[in-house]
Structure 1
Amino acid sequence: MAKTLLFLPDISGFTEFVQTTEAQHSQHVIAELLEVMIESNTIGLELAEVEGDALFFFKEEMPSLEQLLAQIENTFTAFYSHLKLLEKNRVCPCMACTTAPQLQLKIIVHCGDVEFITVQNKRKPFGAEAIEAHRLMKNDVDSDNYILISDALANEIMLPAHYKSKLYDFQEGQNEYDNKIVKYLYSILDKDHLKLKPFATAQKISLDKSADITYEVELYCNAQEGIEWVSNYARRYEWAEGVDQFIYNEHEVTRLGTEHTCVINGKHLNFVTVTKNDASAASGLIYGEMTDGPPFVDKVYQFYTFQPINAQRSKLIVEVYLETKSIFKKVFKNFFIKDVFRKGIVKNIDNLSEKTKEIALEE
């Protein structure tokens, strides 16, 4: 029987992260991280199962030492590159989004003569070696950011006991499981040595004029809850009138650069999340978006600023900038378009204020 490779990336800090942060956003963050690790697969690993905070891969063919170490580096790079993206382009102030960069990753790799079980037409590793691979996730390595390779696999791919490179510095370790000593090699990774993938820089808008429309209301919720009402597109159905559908990635946390589409009377308006160059913590919590879809206007920028009043109330300031280039569009904007936008903004933001008031009275 040919030996099978077992490859288990496991997100460190998952339990505490989920239990102490907002559930929906923590789930989205974890889902995104699992997806980018799945996409980092370059050696033909097969996904057996998603195990909450971990992935269980296998490959019925042994890679070379160089291939395996390259795959491990790819997975770590994808993971920490995405965390850096979440950190730099964050919009939401909730605990899940602010603490996500503190998550870490460990990868357990093992091999052996593996049996398989088929469940709902999907083959999964089964038996003693699969159990041992999972038990190796509980070990004495004093870190939450490392790679662990079982002795069985190290011997198979001829990994020296003290292999060292710019990224790896393997040490020997062992633990006892069910009265059996299992030896392994491990290397704590310094993520500063990873070449993180570049990502699109969030668009920051410089505005050298006053807003065409400004409107303020009081919300019967705190500023953090207020920004969730706006940046969580699923909640917009509860207060935004005139929109047939919001199209967005339901498994993604809204951040700078993310996109969504509003369908109004069959017309699709594509929005991207942006921020202002002058945005600062002193201004309050800010969410912004831009579209170039409306007729008679080249671009529309909408910024929602949430300023705390007290623990239960906040002030929402909405600013709308209508960008036009031609003389005809500028005239049309001043005599007609601004009024249309104002009516829609006032109606929807008043709806949002009333919605938060209804919820506050029920509590």
Structure 2
Amino acid sequence: MAKSLLFIPDISGFTNFVQTTEAEHSQHVIAELLEVLIKANTQDLKLAEVEGDALFFYKEGQIPSQEKILAQIESMYTAFYSHLRMMETNRICPCNACATAPNLELKIVLHCGEMQFLTVQGNRKPFGEIVIQAHRLLKNSIKSDNYVLISNALAQEIKLASDYESLLFQFQKGVDLYDGKPIDYLFANIDVTQLKLHNFDAPILYKPDLPPDFTKAVKIGKSAYEVYEMITNYRHRHKWVKGVDEFKYDANEVTRTGTEHTCVINGRHFDFTTVIKEVPAHQLVYGELTFNPPPVERLYQFYILDPISETSCELTVEVYWRTKTPLQKLLMLIGAKKQMTSGLSASIDNLVDLMRQKEPLAEELDGQ
């Protein structure tokens, strides 16, 4: 029987991460990273299972060359750490899950041998001793949480020397006992600085050159973080935004700069991109940019939260719109401005009422 390859990327630090951070955002972060690893599969590996914080891949009856296996490993590390850097750079959410996500690491375990399969309810799953061995190798004596481990069986199969060295890989020998039997392996700690991380779009920072065209401020008897979550988590938008028939967004993505969502109003689609503006360090800010809200050429709106106490905050909404043509300016003057601002003002009132349901404290400060 031809030997098969087993390939298991495992996100290190997951257990502590989900126990000490906000559950929903930690789930989104891990889901995003698992998706990134799946997309980085260049060797047509078959995904047998998503195992919490790990992926169990295999390649039945075939083992790629040493060059292809090392390239696959590098591809996954590059994708993983590129995404972590993007998360850190484009982060707007203040929660612990989003703040500590860059501390996550990745280990990858590879093994090979003759593999059996079980079929349960029509699903064919890898089974047998080598599957057990591969998973046990995840529990080893390596002092790092950021490494690749290649079993001795696979190293011999692909002719990987125990002293193999490159810019990314400096392999060394290791061995651990499992059920009283030693399993030898090679491992290499991964130096992230040697990875050629992918580029990503820089955050859009809006620097107003004129005062906002609309502003409204309210006090809300909830913490700034609770209100911020209500505003930035798109699954809550339908609860308070007035006049929108549907919100389209990626439900498995944490909102950050560059995140996109679509509002459907009377059958028309309005696309929004998350942006930021500079505010004092103690404030929270969430912004959106759209290029297609007639009759303006572009529109920015910002939600700025200023904590008052642990249980209350002040929310200020600022809107900036830009017109390019005389017709756009005329349309704003004869009614579009009033319609646009009245809808937004009603949405803010809905948000205040929604937050008031649990703790009734909301007071309008000023508006226009």
What is the TM-score with the length of structure 2 in the denominator?
0.95
Deviation digits for residues 29-63 of structure 1, max 9, x if unmatched? 10010001001011111100000000000012111
Tell whether the 8 Å contact from 2:242 to 2:344 is kept in structure 1 after alignment.
no
Q: CA deviation at 1:361?
A: 5.3
Output the CA distance in 2 between the equivalents of 1:179 and 1:143.
Answer: 23
Who is 1:188 aligned against? 189
Output the CA distance in 1 between the equivalents of 2:241 and 2:186.
Answer: 56
Output the CA distance in 2 between the equivalents of 1:122 and 1:236.
Answer: 38
Who is 1:156 aligned against? 157
Who is 2:235 aligned against? 234
Kindly report which structure 2 residues correspond to 1:42-53, keeping only aligned pairs within 5 A, or say none. 42-53=42-53
Tell me how large the CA RMSD over aligned residues is.
1.3
Who is 1:319 aligned against? 318
Who is 1:334 aligned against? 333
Tell whether the 8 Å contact from 1:212 to 1:338 is kept in structure 2 after alignment.
no
Tell whether the 8 Å contact from 1:164 to 1:170 is kept in structure 2 after alignment.
yes
Tell whether the 8 Å contact from 1:145 to 1:189 is kept in structure 2 after alignment.
yes
Output the CA distance in 2 between the equivalents of 1:120 and 1:27.
Answer: 28
Q: CA deviation at 1:201?
A: 1.6
Who is 2:217 aligned against? 216
Tell whether the 8 Å contact from 2:290 to 2:298 is kept in structure 1 after alignment.
yes
Output the CA distance in 2 between the equivalents of 1:280 and 1:149.
Answer: 49
Q: Which amino acid aligns with 1:15?
A: T
Who is 2:13 aligned against? 13
* 1:41 and 2:46 correspond: no
Q: Which amino acid aligns with 1:7?
A: F
Consecutive unaligned residues in structure 2, runs of 5 or more: 362-368
Output the CA distance in 2 between the equivalents of 1:109 and 1:52.
Answer: 18
Output the CA distance in 2 between the equivalents of 1:217 and 1:331.
Answer: 31
Q: CA deviation at 1:338?
A: 2.0
- May I ask how many residue pairs the two structures share in their alignment? 360
Who is 1:62 aligned against? 63
Tell whether the 8 Å contact from 2:221 to 2:360 is kept in structure 1 after alignment.
no
Deviation digits for residues 277-321 of structure 1, max 9, x if unmatched? x34424x11100011222211111100001100000011000001
Q: Which amino acid aligns with 2:207?
A: S
> What is the DSSP-based 3-state SS (H/G/I as helix, E as strand, rest coil) of the residue aligned with 1:147?
strand
Output the CA distance in 2 between the equivalents of 1:145 and 1:6.
Answer: 19
Q: Which amino acid aligns with 1:104?
A: E
Which range moved further: 48-57 or 227-236?
Answer: 227-236
Output the CA distance in 2 between the equivalents of 1:288 and 1:184.
Answer: 50
Output the CA distance in 2 between the equivalents of 1:148 and 1:354.
Answer: 55
> What is the DSSP-based 3-state SS (H/G/I as helix, E as strand, rest coil) of the residue aligned with 1:281?
coil
Q: CA deviation at 1:119?
A: 3.1
Q: CA deviation at 1:328?
A: 2.3
Tell whether the 8 Å contact from 1:302 to 1:321 is kept in structure 2 after alignment.
yes
Kindly report which structure 2 residues correspond to 1:264-343, keeping only aligned pairs within 5 A, or say none. 264-276=265-277, 278-282=278-282, 284-343=283-342
Who is 1:246 aligned against? 247
Output the CA distance in 2 between the equivalents of 1:217 and 1:334.
Answer: 26
Deviation digits for residues 200-248 of structure 1, max 9, x if unmatched? 1222222200100000011221111111111111111111121111010
Q: Which amino acid aligns with 2:24?
A: Q
Output the CA distance in 2 between the equivalents of 1:330 and 1:310.
Answer: 41
Tell whether the 8 Å contact from 1:8 to 1:109 is kept in structure 2 after alignment.
yes
Q: Runs (4+) of structure 1 moved beyond 4 Å?
A: none
Who is 1:352 aligned against? 351
Consecutive unaligned residues in structure 1, runs of 5 or more: none
Who is 1:169 aligned against? 170
Tell whether the 8 Å contact from 1:285 to 1:305 is kept in structure 2 after alignment.
yes
Deviation digits for residues 79-126 of structure 1, max 9, x if unmatched? 000001111111111111111000000000000111111234332210
Output the CA distance in 2 between the equivalents of 1:67 and 1:280.
Answer: 49
Output the CA distance in 2 between the equivalents of 1:74 and 1:48.
Answer: 20
Who is 1:110 aligned against? 111
Output the CA distance in 1 between the equivalents of 2:359 and 2:163.
Answer: 61
Tell whether the 8 Å contact from 1:257 to 1:272 is kept in structure 2 after alignment.
yes
* 1:92 and 2:88 correspond: no
Tell whether the 8 Å contact from 1:213 to 1:338 is kept in structure 2 after alignment.
no
Tell whether the 8 Å contact from 2:214 to 2:320 is kept in structure 1 after alignment.
yes
> What is the DSSP-based 3-state SS (H/G/I as helix, E as strand, rest coil) of the residue aligned with 2:257?
coil
